[in-house]
Amino acid sequence: MKNEILKIQCLTFEYQPGHPVLEDISLSISQGEKIAVMGSNGAGKSTFFLHLNGVLFPKTGKIYYRGEQIKGKNIKELRRNVGFVFQDADNQMIASTVQAEVAFGPMNLKLPREEVKIRVEQALSYMDLDTYRERPPHYLSGGEKKRVSIADIIAMKSEVILFDEPTAALDPVSAGVLEQVLEDLSREEKTLLVSTHDVDFAYRWADRIVIFHQGKILADGNAMEVFLDGDLLRQAHLKKPEMLIVYETLLEQGLIREGSYPRQAVALEDAMKQLV
């Protein structure tokens, strides 16, 4: 088993007394995991992310980062090591140029000026934003803003990155770029949690799927365990991924290797070739 990076124990939270938004959440997250957090609107995904990031503090329950319990004092540790890419990039940007925006996090980490500069350079070129550095964020398009909001977090070199519905409101090309970035980040051993409604994306990308329902964890398992469970999907307002339906149809016709469960189009081709 890999290093455990985050552990959440019996977390409960409510905005108003008597109306719990999160109830008895327990989860253990290892380094380098690719987790899709799913569930209907208002299931508590965003609130859960705000806890992992140290913006909200649990009413009861504990959060551990690398075995150390997070309390009021070391909550900064959590904010430093867990980055949060918000759903609406506009809600995240405060500086008046792209460069200053990306530098905001590193500046808050109180890094020396030289280090800030290096990190900003790296983050900008990582997200292919070199030519945008002097532009004010309000003159960027939606996809460009999203890239800036990811560069924001990359510059902080967080070990865990939370994405709140990153593909919402992105055009297919921008969404493709985003998936590539997720792929690159996980190759660098970053731990990624992505909240999404897109079952096809989750099936394609995630190693592990956590489903929230009315403030509780309804299911937690790998993609196959979750998406083959029809009752579970119905309860969580989810649908079976298209790729899985295609696989099942092909299997019925005897055109694909049994148990191959291809998750990407490329893998589908392979699974069908190997049959012949």
Residues between 204 and 263 that touch another protein (CB under 8 A): none
Amino acid present at 156: M
Run of H or E residues at 28: strand 19-30
135 binds another protein (CB under 8 A): yes
Please tell me the distance from the alpha carbon of residue 227 to that of residue 13, in angstroms, as a whole number: 28
Distance CA 183, CA 209 (A): 17
What minimum distance in Å lies between the beta carbon of 99 and another protein? 6
Give me the torsion for CA of 265, 267, 272, 276, rounded to 10°.
140
| β 208-213/216-222 pair status | antiparallel
Binder among 91, 253, 254, 276 for another protein (CB under 8 A):
91
- The answer to whether residue 193 forms part of the interface with another protein (CB under 8 A) is no
Residues 140-169 that bind another protein (CB under 8 A): 152-153, 156
Q: Does residue number 92 form part of the binding site for another protein (CB under 8 A)?
A: yes
80 binds another protein (CB under 8 A): yes
CB of 213 to another protein, least distance (A): 24
Nearer to another protein, 195 or 250 (CB): 195
Q: Is 173 one of the binding residues for another protein (CB under 8 A)?
A: no
Side-chain-side CA neighbours of 137 within 13 Å: the count stands at: 24
Q: In what order do the strands lie in the sheet with 160-164?
A: 82-85, 160-164, 191-195, 34-38, 208-213, 216-222
Which DSSP symbol is given to 120? H
Q: Which is nearer to another protein, 132 or 203 (CB)?
A: 132
> Which of 13, 84, 201, 227 contacts another protein by CB under 8 A?
84
Closest distance between another protein and the C-beta of residue 185, in Å? 17
Q: Which residue, 213, 237, 233, 236, is CA-closest to 245?
A: 233
Binds another protein (CB under 8 A): choice among 19, 72, 73, 138: 138
Candidate list 13, 48, 65, 86; residue touching another protein; CB under 8 A: 86
**Number of residues forming the site for another protein (CB under 8 A):** 37
118 pairs with which residues across the strands?
none
- Of 24, 28, 58, 107, the residue at the interface with another protein (CB under 8 A) is 107
Q: Note whether 130 binds another protein by CB under 8 A.
A: no
Give whole-number Cα distances, 27 to 45, 85, 219, in Å: 13, 21, 11
Give the interface segment with another protein, choosing from 18-26, 74-82, 190-198, 258-266 (CB under 8 A): 74-82
The secondary structure element, H or E, covering residue 11 is strand 4-16
Q: What are the backbone angles phi and psi of residue 163, rounded to the nearest 5°?
A: -115, 120
Smallest distance, Å, CB 8 to another protein? 17
Residues within the interface to another protein (CB under 8 A): 50, 53-55, 76, 79-80, 83-84, 86, 88, 90-97, 99-100, 103-105, 107-109, 116, 120, 134-136, 138-139, 152-153, 156
